Amino acid sequence: MTRIQNTVFILVALVALVIGLTVYKVLNSAQPLDTAELLDAGIVMLPQGRDMPELTLTNQDGEAMALKQLEGRWSLLFFGYTFCPDICPATLAELRQLRGMLPEEALPRVQPILVSVDPERDTPEQLKKYLDYFGAGFIGLTGPLDDIQTLANAAGVPFIPGDTSKENYTVDHGGNLALIGPDGRLRGFIRAPLRTEKLATQLPAVLALE
């Protein structure tokens, strides 16, 4: 090996060493999420994100909305319905309260969404009227029952459809929220009942993730 080749080899090795040390420093200086604190706030993060189905539903303004349009910020998916007597109004009120407690810079990073599990009665007009009670910033989605069940199952929050042949029927569903990341993948859950004060403290760290 010539002297020039030796010099080039040494330079390449030095550059690689510097890059390696820099990457190591960056990785080890990053502050990881405190799993225990997140769990105490009801936030469960998945080790790996899960793909969501490519669906198009209808929002409260009667406009078609593909799930991919939600990418770019965190979505809090709540599967409920406007005729729900208890869980849904309580959860939406808690989400409104949570939004008011989050720091201003975190608000553009998060979008609360009500996905109707009762598309028989939850027309776009009904969703809009209902969500107006909880102020601005909420999205409502409705559509074919099969599509909604596909989405709920993929999000890990399944429900049992109501018997639409009965008057004043109810729908059996839970109160957990699905955390959909800016990449459009399922990244975790927020367990019910919502602990708004603890969530207001812990959620911003999650919203800062990509």
Nearest to 203 by CA among 103, 59, 132: 103
Question: 24 and 80: one domain?
Answer: no
pLDDT digit string, tens, across residues 92-102: 999 999 999 99
Examine the pLDDT at 120 and tell me if it is beyond 90: yes
Identity of the residue numbered 203:
L
- Backbone φ and ψ for 70, nearest 5 degrees, come out as -85, -10
9 and 76 share one domain:
no
Residues of each annotated binding site for Cu cation: 84, 88, 173
The residue range of the domain holding 90 is 35-208
**Residue 100 is part of a domain; what is its CATH number?**
3.40.30.10
Binding residues: 84, 88, 173
96 within 8 A of 88, measured Cβ to Cβ = no
Q: Tens of pLDDT along 138-197?
A: 999 999 999 999 999 999 999 999 999 999 999 999 999 999 999 999 999 999 999 999
Distance in Å from the first CA to the final CA of the chain: 47
Residue 52 has pLDDT above 60, yes or no: yes
Confidence band of 137 (pLDDT split at 50, 70, 90): confident
Same domain, 8 and 40: no
Measure the CA–CA gap between 88 and 93, rounded to whole angstroms. 8
Rounded to two decimals, the pTM is: 0.83
Q: Please say whether the beta carbons of 158 and 68 come within 8 A.
A: no
Give the tokens for residue 195.
């602990």
